[in-house]
Amino acid sequence: MIERILRDRQSIWQQIVDERELGQLTGNMLASSAIALALYGAVLGAFHSVLMALTSAVKLPLLFLITLAICLPTLYLFNLVFGARLSVRQALAMVMVAITVIAMLAVAFAPISLFFLITAPDYGFFKLLNVAILTLSAIVGLRFLTGGMQVLNQHGLLAPAVPVPAVPAAVPAAPAAPPAEAVPVTPVSAVPAAAVPAALPAGAANGTATSTVIAAPPPPPLAPPPGWDPGGRGLYAGPQPPRPAPRDGQRPASMTLLYIWILLFGFVGTQLAWTLRPFFGSPGQEFALFRSIEGNFYAAILKIIADLF
């Protein structure tokens, strides 16, 4: 799954645009990211004990899934407010691509984290190192999310739908003109002299000349409007109007709100991680499934940095 995302991401974006087998795609990404995050969580908890490693292997995937459940409705409603046509399944698949990339990059850093756990088992340094790893992985994963949203924007899914032009009424067929030979030819001699106009040439009134009435060719049939069904059934068979493409230098409001949503996703995720702690386990404390809620994530990181330097 991760090889397809990294090597052939355009096919992933196109599959999401076309909404083809999104359930299977999302399920594969969910399974891959859950396994990868569980492996990385086991490395985090191994600093304290085997029991902490097992609980961290469960809590780290839950951290991302609960964050997704909290923030996904906001992303979807943001798009609805500004006229985007992104469905819930498409939004879920896009965010799952980002989470899968985050999980795979984190598990790729797991050997490095394990190396420092064995060679330099300092609690403050180990915690700061893994926070940096997760932050870097999150930045790369969310970059994938913005890249995918830009592809969806190019396909017009982040812009309001263009109304389809009204189908014109059925064009009635033009009546066929009578054939030329059906038009009677009247000799001038049969016309009374009083009815002959003055401009008629001399001799025509005496019956010495005849006139031939030439029937005009029938008018051509009215051309049907572009896209009209040639069978005359009143169906619009023409091409659908193209999806709107953003003008050069113009960013849709939904793309701007995406960056705001990414910040929201980061704040919710970090605070939720602080609520679900411990993941590492302080060496001087007994095993605990959860700690009491106190302070916040950012204050704890600043304190760790101050203690190290």
Segments of the chain with pLDDT less than 50:
182-183, 185, 188, 190-191, 195-196, 199-200, 203-205, 207, 209, 211, 229, 232-238, 240-249
- Please indicate, yes or no, if residue 200 is contained in any of the structural domains: no
* pLDDT value, residue 233: 45
Rg (CA), the chain: 38
* pLDDT value, residue 235: 46
* pLDDT value, residue 6: 83
Other C-beta atoms closer than 10 Å to the C-beta of 30 total 18
- Please indicate, yes or no, if residue 70 is contained in any of the structural domains: yes
* pLDDT value, residue 33: 95
State the residue range of the domain holding 282.
2-160+253-308
Residue 39 bridge partners (DSSP): none
- Please indicate, yes or no, if residue 281 is contained in any of the structural domains: yes
- Please indicate, yes or no, if residue 293 is contained in any of the structural domains: yes
Buried/exposed code over 189-210 (b: 16+ C-beta within 10 A; e: otherwise): eeeeeeeeeeeeeeebbeeeee
Total domains in the chain come to: 1
- Please indicate, yes or no, if residue 192 is contained in any of the structural domains: no
pLDDT tens profile 185-224: 455 454 455 544 554 455 444 545 454 555 556 666 665 5
Beta carbons of 185 and 212 less than 8 angstroms apart: yes
The region, left, alpha or beta by phi > 0 then psi within -120 to 50, assigned to residue 242 is: beta
- Please indicate, yes or no, if residue 185 is contained in any of the structural domains: no
For residue 44, the one-letter residue type is: L
- Please indicate, yes or no, if residue 208 is contained in any of the structural domains: no
Q: How far is 228 from 238, CA to CA, in rounded Å?
A: 6
- Identify the helix (H) or strand (E) that includes residue 52: helix 50-81
Beta carbons of 228 and 169 less than 8 angstroms apart: no
pLDDT tens profile 37-51: 999 999 999 999 999
